[in-house]
Structure formats: C-alpha cells, structure tokens
Structure 1
Amino acid sequence: MRASPLRPWCRALAVLALSLAGCYGQASLSPQDGTPGGDDDPPVQQDGSLDCDTDAVPQSVTLQGIAEDFAQTVHPAMLRETSGCISCHATTTGRLFKVSTDGKETFYAARAAGFMKPESGSLLSRLATTDEAVRMPRGQPTWSKEEIATVARLTCQLAAVESRQPESKPDEEFPLALLQPYTGPSVATYDNSFIGFEQLKGKVKSIFNDAWVRNGEDRFAQNVGLFGGVDYKDHFVEARAASADFFLGLDDLSRDVCLVAATNKTGPFAGLDLAQPLVDVPAPTSKQYEMELAVRADAASIPAGTQIIASTGQKSGTTGWDLYTTGSLATAQPHPFATSNTYRFTVKAKGDLCGPDLPHMQLKVDGVVVKEWDVSNNTAYADFVYTQVVAAGGHVLSVHFTNDYNESGVCDRNLHVDALNVYGPTEASTGTQRADAAKAKVDTLYRRMLYRAATAQERDNGYALVKDLNDIEANLPKAWSGLCEGLLRAPDFLFTLPPSYEALSGKERDRLLLVKLAMDLTGRPPTAAEFTALESGTKSWEDMVDAYLESPDFKTYYFQRMRVRTESEGTPDTDEPARLWTHLVSEGKPFQELLTGDYSVDDTYKQVERTPEHGKTGVLTMKGFIKNKPGLPHYNYAARVMTDFMGALYEVPSEVFDMRGAATAASTVDPTSICFACHQTLTPLAHQRLRWDDEGNYRTSDVEGKPLDDSDRGLVGIYAYKGQGMEAFATQAVKKEAFVRRTLNAQFALFFGREMRHTMDERTVYKRLWDVSQESHGNLKAVLKSIATSPEYLRR
C-alpha cells in the first residue's frame, strides 16, 4: 500500500539514506524502511509533502519503537544549543510545537499535534524548506541532510504503523507520553487559593450579614477595581492576587463592616457584651514612702534607689522630713498603678504653727492638685486620707508645703511629713475573670471569622490589642472593631484554604478544608448546619460534595465563574455561553455539547431550540461569543476558539502586527508566509465561520451577493477539522485530547486556582480525570466530585 504515487525524487532519498548506514544506526534509511527515492529532485517538496511506501515498512516496526528511535536520533538535535529547537519551543513557551527534555514525550506530543505527518505543515517541511522566512530553526544553521532524512524515515514509519492500526487518532487519545512516570525536577509552584471578588462578597455576607450597601450605594461595586473583580462595565478581567490595591479596598471594607457590627452587636459580635471591662481588679497592695529617706534635689549626687526627692528642707529628727520653707517631696520614679481604679492615699504629717493661718499641704498626681489640707496638729503626726480614681500606669506623686511664714524671734511655720502611703485598688479583686472573659470573646471572633479556635498566643495578642486600643480611645466597641479589622486581613481569612490548616489535625483540619470546599463550589463559607453535619458524622465528605453540587448556590456561583471564563460583557447575549456551561453541569449533560449542542439556554437555565442554521455548534455560533472577535483577515475569532477551547497559545511577533492590516486569507496559508505556522489552523477555521458575520448574524452570501464557501477549502493538509461550516469543526474538535484537557482544566482551576501540571508531576491527576470524563460520558459534576474527593485536594 502506498500513501501516494511515487515521485522521481524519492529514490534519491533512499540512495542518500544508504550512504549513511552505520553512522546513525537505526536512524539510517533503507528501502526496507519504506522511504521512497528519486534521482535529482530534493527528498521533500517545498510544501513539506512526502511520498511514503507504507507497505515496505516491516511489520516489526511499532509505535513504541518509533518513539524510542526518535528519542535517540532526533531529540538530541532538538536540545542542542546551536541549531536546536528547545530555545524557542520549550514547554514554557506559547508555541504550538513544544520540545520537552524527554525524547519520547516530545515525539508523542509532535504526533498528537499533527507534526509527524508526511504532509505540508509537518516538522519535516519546516526543517527541509529553503525559504528562510519559515525555515526552522529560524536564524540558525539548517539541519544536515542526514538529520532531515532521519525525520523523513520516522515520519513514513509512523504513517505505516497508523495505517495498520486504525484506532483513535493520536490527537484524540490520552497522550501516551503521559503514561510514563514523571522523572523531571521537583515542582516549586503553588496553588492560588487567594480569595476572589465573588468569594470575598460571599464571605462578608455570611459572617457579617452585611452586603456592604451604604445609603443605597453598593460599596463592593464601587471598589470592584481595587478587589480585582469583574463588573462587565468597566472591569472585565479578573485578578486574584494580594495586590496593594486589594488591601486599599480591604482597609475601607474592614473599617466599615467591623465597626457597624461591633456597634450593633451583629455578625461575629452577636450575643457578645462588648461593654464589659477588659482589665481585672488585682488584689490590693500597699506602698509606703518614708520621707526621712528623701534626698535633696540640689545634692551633689543622688544615690541609686532613692525613692523621694525633696526640693527644700531637711530630715526632721529621727523620722520624717521638715519642709522649713515652701517646697515639695516627690516620688523619684512614677508610682505604678496596676489598673485604672480607686486608690487610697494617706499622708502622715504635722505642722509648726505660726501666724494667723495653718500650714497648708497639697497632694498632687503628675503635678495636678487632687487634695488640699490645713494641718492643725503640731505635736504628733496625724493621717490625712484621700481616695482618688487613678488611671493605670505610672504617675508621679508629690506632697507640697505652700505657705511658709516666720515671725522673727517668735515663731516659724513649717510642714513635717513622715510618710506617704498608697493603697489599692480599693475595689474587690476580680482575679482574672475580666481578662478571661475578654479572651473568650477573642476566641469567639476567631471561630466566627476564621472558623477555628485561637491559639493561646493569639488570644493573648488579641486581648492585648483590644486593651491597648481602648487605652488610646476609651471606646470599647471601637476597640473590638479594631481586632475584627485585623482578622479580616489575616491570611486565614484571605485564602480559601486557611494556611493554619497545615498545623491542625482531626476535626479542626476537616473544618478548614470544608471552608475551602464551600468557597470553591458556592463562593461562600459553610453554614453552621453544614459544619455540624460533617463534624457529627451525619454526612460524609462525599455527601457534602454532592450536597454542594446540587445546591442553588453552586449553580449561581458556577455561572459567575463561567461568565469570567467566557469573558461575558454582562449582557443577555454575552451571558449565553456561560448559561450553556451552567446548564451542562447542572443537568449532567456531556461537556462536548459545549461545542456541539444544537440548542440554547434561557435565563432560567432551561434548554430552548435554536434555528436550524446553527446546527451542532454550541457556543461557537452564539451571537455573544462571536461579537468582538473579527474573522478574516484578522483571525481573532479563530484564535480565541483555539485558545479558549483547544488550549493553543499564540506568540505574535511585531512583524506580524505590522502586516496584519494588509493581510489576506491567501497570503496567510502560503507556506512561504511568516503566518503559516499558526494560520494553518486559523485560516481554515476562519473560512468555516464565514456564514456568520462579525456581529454573529447568519448569512448565505458575501457583501457582493456571491455564495459563501464555508468549508476549510483543503487549504492545509494536516488540518484536523476538515469539512463544511462550524458544525464540521465542532463535531471533530470535541473528540480532541486538547479540548478534553482544556475543559477539565476549567474545572480543576475552580479548586486550585491554576491549571494542571499535566505534563509534569500531575499527569496521574490528568489521567484520573480523563478516565472519569470518559466513564461518565462527559458529566462535569462527576469530574468536579472526582477533584473534590481526590488525594491532592484532601492533602493526603
């Protein structure tokens, strides 16, 4: 059997191959390899086509053998620094053809992508062409004839093997390379569980019962840009990152909702008495300052440990201090008051009487007079007692003599002070009950806002914060609001999976994982009943997953996620694709109907008929999907279809931008065009959409009234979606591994905030989800449940 008639130049290739025998081992060519030969023409035509005598390929040649041969003979050339491929086609690039460090994996990827076919657009054609505009490796020396011949031989061998084993097409099966264990370097990337805009709204609504609407204004809507949300008016691209803008918005949110809740005793403060004192009354203590131990302020030196400083006077005999002129006795250091409370001050004093007035004594706290006495006793010390409320902290205490008087030779008015005693607090001791009660409130806020108990250190820190805030401004609700603001900024609040999860175990760990599950599937935290159901054992984890997937909240949240996924503009037309996604997952229909559904979905998520011209095209011919995605010659529609549903990424160099304005469909499929590499897929697809204009309206003729040819026109031999119209594309695209992977990734991202590392350490995850999707006939709920019950999601 021959793939196509022999051409004269094919024999030359065989002759060339024979001359290489012994240099490349199995990579050498021979007539038995099935590669045709010729006399004078080059072995590969300009368009990359190649005649292969598939009957001549031995039956012993297998797909596995070809992969191993490719890995040994072709792949090393791809990895070399000069004239290699990996510098431009590494797995981290957006190229259609990717080269990994594993040879067999690269072969299977090239095969699945259609680059190992004996047709135009193949790897072989890019290596063999003499046109520098499209030759690969670009800007590097060409591969040797021997190396190109090796690629040609393997291409023909592969054509023979595939013709003998008419199984599924390689781009419609699970990638064989990914069945091998991952042996690459460890992966250091992380899940992105940072809270999204809709999840933030759901969490605030659940915890505070507050939609953050003030005076009729939706404050979430006003701050949507700061929070990285989408409003389909001014903001269309979602951002999920801890940006500076996000925290600016969080500042406003936390101050407002926390203070309202604390003032009204709602949300996390419901049932809490925030007016209760924070500081306990300690057991009373007594401190006696003996004045005879005073040291004059004007002394040459003041010994360490001095407790009283005298401005004037001298020691009064054996006890006390004689203020023989106007002056004071003050504590050298502020006296420490353990708590704001009532204290009793006792000044033991006597006076030397002289003149019409009695000696006048003042008691001051921090220089402020709090009590005054006239001292009438002149023979023995008496107690002068005063009770005063003093704020907690250190305060300087002082006793003053203010009215010195002297009659020469007759009398001298003085004040003698023996001691100052400070006693208190005078109220009954409360032990630690006030602090304990406050710390219990701290724990309650942690449980209600972060869904876990506070650690001992967190209780202490939270209590200290509230106490300090109240000391700054005596407003207990406002102080408690400050703690609430701090918890709103805590990582455990801002991530769907609280980071403290890693330090917990048992039911506490399960509780936080349930928070993530509810946030991932419904955009809100679990209710009290849902927590109880799991913790009591009434429902298993699988039961909780099922319950969430069947809940109205799931449908609402999933629709919002798909609006972002399909880049809706918030109109009924642009919401239609998201409604179809939501209908498919809610009804358990095959996800392939995303592209092949012959119906639409109304705003109640019910299936409705579409006019016959749509055929089996799903979202592809929905007005809201087509709009703003121009077709020829700009290819936005085709590129978006291939990116959104087939996972293709395109790197558009500056020279392409420069030429796009004057580009035509014919020029982009010219093998010598710079556009050919990408447009071998995009141009046929753009032609297949021709019956739908850029506004999504159906038409049967062009602007000149000529009938439209909406076939792929046979422009590209390796085009995988040949046929008439968008239905031909859709019905073939849904069979492709790329479409399945892209759709599975859209579900995976709901839980992990990123796509699968399907070619790396998560290839087993991909295989599991592939199998589930095949076994369930494309039921997305089954896929979602598989992810939510997987070891990776459960961190086991």
Structure 2
Amino acid sequence: MRASPLRPWRRALAVLALLAAGCSGQVSFDQQQGVPDYDDPDPDPPPVQQDGSLPCDLESVPAGVTLQSIAEDFARVVHPAMVREVSGCISCHSTTHARLFTVTQNGVETFYAARAAGFMKPESGSLLSRLVTTDMSARMPRGQPSWSAQEIAAVASLTCQLAAVETRQPSARPDEEFPLALLEPYSGPALSTYDNPFIGYDQLRGKVKAVFNDTWVRGEVDRFAQNVGLFGGVDYKDHFVEARAATADFFLGLDDLSRDVCLTAATHKTGPFTGLDLAQPLVDIPAPTTKQYEMENAARTDGTIPAGTQIVASTGARSGTTGWNLYTTGSLTTAQPYAFPVSATYRFTVKSRGNLCGPDLPHMQLKIDGVIVKEWDVSNDTAYADFVHAQAVTAGDHVLSVHFTNDYGESGVCDRNLHVDALQVYGPTEASTGTQRADAARAKVDTLYRRMLYRAATAQERANGHALVKDLNDIEAHLPKAWSGLCEGLMRSPDFLFTLPPSVENLSGKERDKLLLVKLALDLVGRPPTAAEFTALESGQQTWEAMVDGYLASTEFRDWYYQRMRVRTESEGTPDTDEPARLWTHLVVEEKPFEELLTGDYSVGTDFQQVARPAEHGKTGVLTMKGFIKNKPGLPHYNYAARVMTDFMGTLYEIPSEVFDMRGAATASSTVDPNSLCFSCHQTLTPLAHQRLRWDDEGNYRMTDVEGRPLDDSDRGLVSVYAYKGQGMEAFSTQAVKKEAFIRRTLNAQYALFFGREMRHTLDERVIYKRLWDVSKESHGNLKAVLKTLATSPEYLRR
C-alpha cells in the first residue's frame, strides 16, 4: 500500500508535454515504510526543465537514505536497464569505449563512476536529461526505444536522493576524492595481458653501450641516429613520435645493428667476447674407430646392385675368394659416403697387389670426393701389401674411391691389372679429447648469456648455442663470424628485447633479483646495471629500496626522466617546447608537489632550476607556456581545450559521425545548449577555450583583441555545471589540480615509466591505484615517493 504523501510535481503538472510552455514542479517521493518506492508501474514523468535540470524536493527524501543505499538501489533498479541488449547503455559506454559516461557489469561501480563524472546531478547534462530530451540527436539510448516511465522515474528519484544526501552530509566533491566505486573489490574476469614493455630506442642504445662498449659510430657517422626511424625513436628533427610497440622496421634496424656490433666485438674480442679464445676448435676428437670395406663384396655399376652393398665397381670382377680384380681402367667406390665424425687426421690403408706387364707398374690412386689424395705404383705381384696414407679430412660425409689408371696388355704375353682386397679407414689418429672442446665451447655460450642476457644459460641453451656455432662454422670456416652469429641470435632474444627479461618467471632468489634489477635500471636510467650495481645487490651491500633511492638521486635519472617527459609532452626539441618537460623534471628532482605542474608560477631553466616568469602567467604551470600552447589553436577551434583535458585530466573525446557532420554550423553558444548533442563534451571545452582567450596561438599574452577591444577570459557563466569557473587559466588550474582525474593522470604518467601503459584503475589494478593515491596525499604530491612506491610494489616485483 502506498504511503500518503503526494508528489508536489504531480499536483502542479498535468502532463510533461506542457514542459515547453514553461511549467515546473519538484520531485518528491513515494515511500514504503520510510524508504523510496520504485514499484509504481505508471508514474508521472519527472519535471525536467528545458535546460535539462531537475527541481528536487530535498525535504521529502527519507532521512534513512544514505549514499550506500542509493548505490545499492541504483544497482538493483537502474543498472539492469543499462546492461540489457536492447535500449541499454553498455554497447556504447563499456570500459572499452572512450566515453565520458562508462558502464561496467557492476551496478555499484557504475553508480559511483556516474556520480563522480557528474551524471547524477539534477542539472543539465545529467543521465536523466539525456533520457528524456526531445532532441533525438541527443536522446539516449540513441536509435533505440526509450526507457519506460518507471525506469526514468527511478533515475529521477535516485538523482534527487543523491542531491539530498550530499546537501545534508557535505563532503569533498565526488570528483575530488578517490572513486568510491574503486573501493569495491574487482569481480571481473582475470586479465591475462602480457605486461612487459618492449625496449625503446634510448634503452636499446644504453644496452648496446653497456654490453658491447660500442656507441655504433662508424666513420664518424652515428648509425643509431641514422636509423632512429627504424627503431621508433625520437630525434626532434625528422622523428617526433615514439613507437609504442615493436615493428617490422625495428627488426630491420636490428639486423644491421646486431651484425655490426657482434662481428666487431667477436673480431676484436671486446664487449661480451672479452677474454674469450674464439679460435679454439669446437668439436672434440673422439676415440678412433676402424671401418673396413671388403672388395670381394663389390657390385658392378652396370648390373643389379643388391641392397646393403657398400662398394660399387665401374669394371672388373671378383678376384678369387678375396678382393676385386680391376682388369681394365676403373674404380672401386663407396656406395654411400663415409661419415667422418670430426675434422681430423685419418689413416687410409689400401690392401692391394698388381699383375705386372710392360715397362710401368700398375698405378693406383686414392680419392676423396673425386680428388686425388695419394698415388702409388704397385710392385708386388703375388701377395697383397698394405699401402698406407694419413690424410686430414673435414667432418662430414665424403665419398672414397680407389682407382686403377694405367691398364696395359701384350697379347699372349701379359696383362697389367690391379687387385684390391680391402680399403680401411682408421681414425681420428689424434688423441681423444673427450668432451673438453664441447665443454669449453658451451662455457663460452654461457658467458655470452651472462654478459648479454644477465642470466646463466640452461643446459639446453648451452647445447643449442654450441650446435649453432658449429653449424655456422661448417657453412663458412670462420670462427669469429660463427660466434658473432650466436651473438646476433641473443640480441633477438626476448630477454634482450624486453625491459624485463621474460626468463625472470623461471628463476628465483638472486638470479631473479638480477633480472628485476635489469628492468629497474632500464626504467629509471635507461641502461642496464653496472657490474658494481649488480654486486651491491647480490652481496647484500644495498637493499632493493636503497638501489631505488640511488637511481632516483642520480643525475642519470634526472636526464632520463627529462627525455621521457620530452616524449610525453611532444617536444619539438626547441627551448620553448622543452619547457614543459623541464618543469616535470624539476618537480620530481626537487620533490615538489606535482600540482605545480598546473599551478606553478615560475619557469624552469635548462639547468632544471626555478626561474621567475612574468606575472601575467599567474599560477598556470605548463598551461601558458609557449611550448605547450604552440600547435594547439584556441577559439574558434577547441584543440587547446581538448588537449588540456586529455593531457592532464585523462579525458578522451570521441566524435560520432552525426556530431562531425554538424560541426560546421556549430557556434560557441550552440555547443553549450544542454539539449545539444555537443553538450556532454563542450560543457567543459567551450568555457575553457574562453578562459584561454588572453593567450594567442603563439603563446603571447594580450589584454585586447586585434580591434583593441578588451578580452573577457572568464568562463562567462556559459555552463552552470562547469567545474572550473572563474577568470582566466589560473581559475582552471587551481581547481583542476584538486580533481581525481588530474591526480590519476599524473600518477599514470609515472606508472607508464615502469609498465609502458596506464593503470587498469577501474579493473584489476584498483588496489595499486589506491596505494599510489594514498602515497601522493601523504607525501604532498612528491613524485619521487610515487616512483619509489611503484618500484618497490609487489605488482612491479611480480610477487
């Protein structure tokens, strides 16, 4: 049964259609036992005004309503409509869409996010105003059936309940506190994204210098600078945007780099090859073996050759029970090549005799792969004798053959023939080395892994590396080149190319800490650790926290941070466009509050020290620096305002096709019409663009326009809900730094230095976000404290 209080707006209005005539009322509430009632199937429409605002009777909101109860009611009553397939919101406003209004699968989260973003206010631009507007280009859900009267009434009820609670219990503005939605535990699916930044151009330079002691300068030409585009780097001349991921071009550049620096190091025994004897043989001498070919088992090549035949004869026939008679010029050849296990010396024994005839003795040749290696004249004509020859042979398969070259006969008198009983191969004749050479080569492989990848090679990696060097040397007998080939392979290893060597997942203890230190040094100073730094951590001379402090206190860190901020602020390499990066660097080095990024009333010189600037800048930080304003036009464009909101508040603007089509006819005043499709973005962009009016597009300050008229750089009261009201850019700056969005955006700039991306703050990384938020508040915006928190966090250390 419905309680007695009547809605004042029900008494005042006949129908919502009279809205255009200027009728109004206030929302009050049906209650069931002191709590709001959402079950009326046919409620009157809420009295939303033409400007999108909603009059609320705050006194009618039950005293027992709390922020928590509103969030729970929203999740139960409104959120299901948002996530449904038809007439829902999530298809366009999920977390994967760059929209100001975001819907998740968690109703409480969605409520708190909507509240923080200002969509639950009884003002223009609210969720309710978009649901009920008669402008079809602005009404939500776009292109879908309208929500039911019951659902719209529930949104109106919750909107006014929230206004009442915030009036009764004043607190920090919801957009200036840590998002309450993110205090809820993450309940979504586990994210399996592989988070490990690929090495950047400057980090690659630092690594090559550390590993090879090589700057890749050849003939006074800086090959790194010459290939900066391939490596995705920035030189502030021709290349201004850093690549965010590995590209095919990167690996083209790596081909040239690795080939050059590796061969140079291997040839001169520098870098990772320092102290290594690359001339040592790679293959061990095994114990000798004997292989004997019995010639009586030969088969003629012009007949059927039985399976398993080991010797084929071009001519002749079996010589009695042993041997083969070459009665004409011909040869006995191994049917299959003989596999010589190693390059070494082998002893060949040919057991043969001759039939003498004429002035010359029977002539015999021993050939390997058709090349004569030894010749004999055979003088014994009754018994077989051994003809022995030692020959160096390269490892691998080789064809052996014995040849009779000078057949001769005198009819009825004599016939010169060659009888061959056996061919024996023995060797290698050198003393066996066991596994000494393989062990030495695999030890070199391990040394290269330790010096290039900062970890020991596994047994399989040592064996594979040894095999690769052997294969390369077999292709071209040049040991330094062969070892250089292994080096080139290691430069393509993920352990070389990612800031955190992926092998860290398979290690523990000091070996794992060593790879984590590699990442820390690359992240904070742009190079791998020195030997002394490795020793300090491994020996316990310094803790991990002390290592972090040491890096953060170094001039190397200052210079590295400055380079990273030059990239972030899209510097063009000029003193003016470098100024924002110098301010970032000054704040972190001097441990000043990071809010001075927007409120600093000073500039920073090339020595990173604070210097005074003209008073007209006021407390505007980077926002009135020439280097920031350049290439960001103001009115009648909104590029500057959009970049301010994107760069410092993290707002992403998406322009639907229907908005793009109507931009030509839009005016500054039309963009701030609450019923306009433009309003959701321009409720901020348009007043902000006006606040910059006294700074021209070149960053010069002026009080009047080109016609001498005074310039009004206030927000002009264009939007009642504008969060940064006041005169000039200082009004914006001093209020913007209080916003959660600014704090998060600034924290994300530090987070990206370690993780290569921004936090998934609405998903599985809300815990680390809260930790960074707390540290930033406790340290009064000290970015070094934030960086140390990140570098010592379990998320960074993967614990």
TM-score by length of 1: 0.94
Residue of structure 1 equivalent to 2:797:
794
Higher alpha-carbon deviation: 739-748 or 208-217: 208-217
Residue of structure 2 equivalent to 1:490:
493
Question: What is the identity, as a one-letter code, of the residue corresponding to 1:211?
Answer: T
Structure 1 residues 415 and 640: alpha-carbon distance in aligned structure 2, compared to 1, 3 A threshold: same
Structure 1 residues 17 and 739: alpha-carbon distance in aligned structure 2, compared to 1, 3 A threshold: closer
Structure 1 residues 567 and 744: alpha-carbon distance in aligned structure 2, compared to 1, 3 A threshold: same
Pairwise CA distance, 1:723: 0.8
Secondary structure, counterpart of 2:331 in structure 1:
strand
Q: Within 1, Cα distance between the matches of 2:104 and 2:406? A: 98
For the 8 Å contact 2:26–2:56, the answer to whether it is kept is no
Q: 2:483 aligns with which of 470, 480, 485?
A: 480
Q: Within 2, Cα distance between the matches of 1:778 and 1:357? A: 104
Q: Within 2, Cα distance between the matches of 1:777 and 1:25? A: 42
For 1:403-422, list aligned pairs within 5 A.
Answer: 403-422=406-425
1:88 aligns with 2:92: yes
Residue of structure 2 equivalent to 1:3:
none
Residue of structure 1 equivalent to 2:710:
707
Pairwise CA distance, 1:527: 0.9
1:464 aligns with 2:467: yes
Pairwise CA distance, 1:119: 1.9
For the 8 Å contact 2:354–2:419, the answer to whether it is kept is yes
Residue of structure 2 equivalent to 1:552:
555
Root mean square deviation, CA, Å: 2.4
> CA-to-partner distance for each residue in 1:89-147, whole Å, 9 max, x for gaps?
22221111111222221111111111222222222222222122322222223333433
Secondary structure, counterpart of 1:429 in structure 2:
coil
Q: 2:647 aligns with which of 644, 647, 652?
A: 644
Secondary structure, counterpart of 1:74 in structure 2:
helix
Q: 1:158 aligns with which of 145, 150, 162?
A: 162
Pairwise CA distance, 1:698: 0.6
Structure 1 residues 190 and 351: alpha-carbon distance in aligned structure 2, compared to 1, 3 A threshold: closer
Structure 1 residues 20 and 776: alpha-carbon distance in aligned structure 2, compared to 1, 3 A threshold: closer
Pairwise CA distance, 1:154: 2.1
Structure 1 residues 264 and 419: alpha-carbon distance in aligned structure 2, compared to 1, 3 A threshold: same
Question: What is the identity, as a one-letter code, of the residue corresponding to 2:64?
Answer: S
Structure 1 residues 142 and 418: alpha-carbon distance in aligned structure 2, compared to 1, 3 A threshold: closer
Q: Within 2, Cα distance between the matches of 1:395 and 1:473? A: 18
* Structure 2 gap segments, 5+ residues each: 1-7, 17-23
1:743 aligns with 2:746: yes
Question: What is the identity, as a one-letter code, of the residue corresponding to 1:675?
Answer: C
1:350 aligns with 2:360: no
Q: Within 1, Cα distance between the matches of 2:614 and 2:197? A: 42
Residue of structure 1 equivalent to 2:180:
176
Q: Within 2, Cα distance between the matches of 1:662 and 1:231? A: 40
Higher alpha-carbon deviation: 419-428 or 18-27: 18-27
For the 8 Å contact 2:9–2:26, the answer to whether it is kept is no
Pairwise CA distance, 1:428: 2.5
Pairwise CA distance, 1:656: 3.5
For the 8 Å contact 1:29–1:153, the answer to whether it is kept is no
Q: 1:366 aligns with which of 366, 369, 380?
A: 369
Pairwise CA distance, 1:781: 0.9
Q: Within 2, Cα distance between the matches of 1:101 and 1:755? A: 21
Pairwise CA distance, 1:619: 0.6
Secondary structure, counterpart of 2:741 in structure 1:
helix
For the 8 Å contact 1:10–1:51, the answer to whether it is kept is no
> CA-to-partner distance for each residue in 1:769-793, whole Å, 9 max, x for gaps?
1111111111111111111111111
TM-score by length of 2: 0.94
Structure 1 residues 609 and 361: alpha-carbon distance in aligned structure 2, compared to 1, 3 A threshold: same
Secondary structure, counterpart of 2:36 in structure 1:
helix
Pairwise CA distance, 1:661: 4.7
For 1:199-598, list aligned pairs within 5 A.
Answer: 199-299=203-303, 301-598=304-601
Q: Within 1, Cα distance between the matches of 2:567 and 2:327? A: 87
1:61 aligns with 2:65: yes
Q: Within 2, Cα distance between the matches of 1:130 and 1:662? A: 20
> CA-to-partner distance for each residue in 1:698-742, whole Å, 9 max, x for gaps?
111112211111111111111111111111111111111111111
Residue of structure 1 equivalent to 2:667:
664
Pairwise CA distance, 1:25: 7.8
In percent, how many aligned pairs have the same letter?
A: 79
Q: Within 2, Cα distance between the matches of 1:639 and 1:153? A: 33
Structure 1 residues 536 and 726: alpha-carbon distance in aligned structure 2, compared to 1, 3 A threshold: same
> What number of residue pairs does the alignment pair up?
782
For the 8 Å contact 2:29–2:36, the answer to whether it is kept is no
Question: What is the identity, as a one-letter code, of the residue corresponding to 1:194?
Answer: F
Question: What is the identity, as a one-letter code, of the residue corresponding to 1:26?
Answer: P
For the 8 Å contact 1:91–1:100, the answer to whether it is kept is yes
Secondary structure, counterpart of 1:463 in structure 2:
helix
Residue of structure 2 equivalent to 1:26:
36
Q: Within 1, Cα distance between the matches of 2:753 and 2:135? A: 45
Q: Within 2, Cα distance between the matches of 1:654 and 1:231? A: 36
Q: Within 1, Cα distance between the matches of 2:625 and 2:256? A: 40
Pairwise CA distance, 1:240: 2.8
Question: What is the identity, as a one-letter code, of the residue corresponding to 1:565?
Answer: R
Question: What is the identity, as a one-letter code, of the residue corresponding to 1:115?
Answer: F
Question: What is the identity, as a one-letter code, of the residue corresponding to 1:487?
Answer: L
Pairwise CA distance, 1:662: 5.0
Pairwise CA distance, 1:655: 4.0
Pairwise CA distance, 1:278: 1.4
Q: Within 2, Cα distance between the matches of 1:484 and 1:697? A: 54
